[in-house]
Amino acid sequence: MPVSSIVGTFRTIAVVGACALVFVGCACGAKKPATVAAAPSTSTSTSTTTTAPRPTIIAPLTGAPTTDRSAAARPALVVKIDNADPPARPQLGLNQADVVYEERVEGSVTRFAAGFQSTGADPVGPVRSGRMTDLPIVSALTRPLFAWSGGNPGVSRAIRAAPLVDLGPGVVADAYTRRGVGGKKAPHDLYTATSKLWAHAPDDARPPAPIFTFRADGDRLATGARPVREVHVDFGVTRGAPVDWRWDANRKGFARWQRGTPHLDEKGIQSAPQNVIVQFVDYHRNGDADVGGNPVYVAEQVGSGACWVLTAGHLVEGTWSKASNEAVTTFTTADGAPIALTPGRTWVELSAPGGATVVR
């Protein structure tokens, strides 16, 4: 469930330092700054002014350039977001997240783990509880901040023992608020703000390493890429799913539909990330049940399996692999080459095998 290959490299950029920021033009044979002649003075002498080039910073989770140095240096922040349909919709913050994971939780619901780093969202939510499926996601993000509403005793112990910074309401109560917008009621009305959460980042927090390989300008799509119009993902539940991803050439992204309607945020904007990865994983019951008696599911993300990568209006079939909770998930073609994404935002669907189909 995290996701792909750190093995990939950018053609025109160099990854700088352990902070995983990439600066273009620092050590890649960049041209010297241009020298501009100044207007002559009353004497016959002239002077020159040198304009220093501004280095480009590459956001580690999107592969996109940014000039916001403070944002690029901050840690990743993962917010658990409700997707009970209809009481949780519309949400806030999904369209600002660098990466979103959709996971099956209890019998009739999916939930999101939304990762922020290059941009934030104030407010974001509704915030819900953590799950064991979250552990392999957060563990690969270089000790991210984690915003959640809590969990049962076993899950809570596991999450607090994971390599993350717990920023739930029990730790930073002032970062959360109840919003009854649209008639939402508890437990679907808890919201937070990324700015408030980042304010609680520890002094030794650092940005994540890249978790995907991205294409540089001019790079070709992976071998075997074929045009795709729509992909349908069914989590085998009656609420919160199914999901359809339809290529939108005007937005250069895959527009998300849920239960047959456009998935809009509170501002009326439909989710349309540049990339969607369908990662086929096995689910098992962990013995827990929700208040309705429905079994709770956990996605098995350590190991390997099949994947579909949707990018630039194409589908690439491949294989995912993850050696441990802390390892980054790699996504490769049949010949072992990394599958490179379009720079931008990415959604990862943790789908059971056979849970997705291509719509012709």
215-268 per-position pLDDT tens digit: 998 899 999 999 999 999 998 766 667 999 999 999 999 999 999 999 999 999
156-189 per-position pLDDT tens digit: 999 999 999 999 999 999 999 999 888 899 999 9
CA atoms within 13 A on the CB side of 74: 21
Least confident of 143-147, 248-252, 294-298: 294-298
Enter the DSSP assignment of 160. H
Whether the predicted pLDDT of 44 surpasses 90: no
Percent of the chain with pLDDT over 90: 74
| Residues sharing a CB contact under 8 Å with residue 85, sequence separation 6 or more, in sequence order | 239, 240, 258, 259
Q: Are the C-beta atoms of residues 256 and 271 closer than 8 Å to each other?
A: yes
Q: Are the C-beta atoms of residues 208 and 62 closer than 8 Å to each other?
A: no
Least confident of 45-59, 78-92, 144-158, 330-344: 45-59
Give dist(CA 72, CA 117) in Å, integer. 7
Give dist(CA 211, CA 348) in Å, integer. 12
Whether the predicted pLDDT of 33 surpasses 80: no
Give backbone dihedrals phi and psi of 19, rounded to 5 degrees, phi first.
Answer: -75, -5
- Choose among 348, 70, 65, 68: nearest CA to 211: 348
Give dist(CA 195, CA 6) in Å, integer. 28
Give dist(CA 229, CA 257) in Å, integer. 13
Q: Are the C-beta atoms of residues 287 and 294 closer than 8 Å to each other?
A: no
- H or E stretch including 198? helix 194-198
